[in-house]
Amino acid sequence: MKYPFSHIGIPTTEEKDWDGFYEPGKIHYTEFDKDDYKIEWVKFDDDSPMPEMMRTLPHVAYLVDNIEEALEGREILVDTFSPGDGVRVAFIEHNGAPVEFMEISS
């Protein structure tokens, strides 16, 4: 399987011009596609259910054709969820860092 780079997500406690809010995870985010360097800023509410690793460490994100296949044999940090129409994401822990897999249906 190929893993084309999508973006890097950087946690912050600063206020930004947020593009959206993912209610179940209590995550504010910017759209990485609007950034020249594919940076997604993320801010977690104090009561966010997301793991500490997600709230404190940057993550790198890759596009995958099949998220179930990409997750096979991996240490899952955050199970598959859909933050928007046609998008499924999951996070794994890889060598002590969070990695995001994104499956986008056309």
pLDDT tens-place string over residues 15-61: 999 999 999 999 999 999 999 999 999 999 999 999 999 999 999 99
**pTM, rounded to two decimals:** 0.93
Q: Give the model confidence (pLDDT) of 82-97 as tens digits.
A: 988 899 999 999 999 9
* Lookup: tokens for 73: 């044999």
Q: Are 52 and 81 in contact (CB under 8 A)?
A: no
Q: Given this model, what pLDDT does residue 47 score? A: 97
Residues 6 or more apart in contact with residue 84 via CB below 8 angstroms:
none
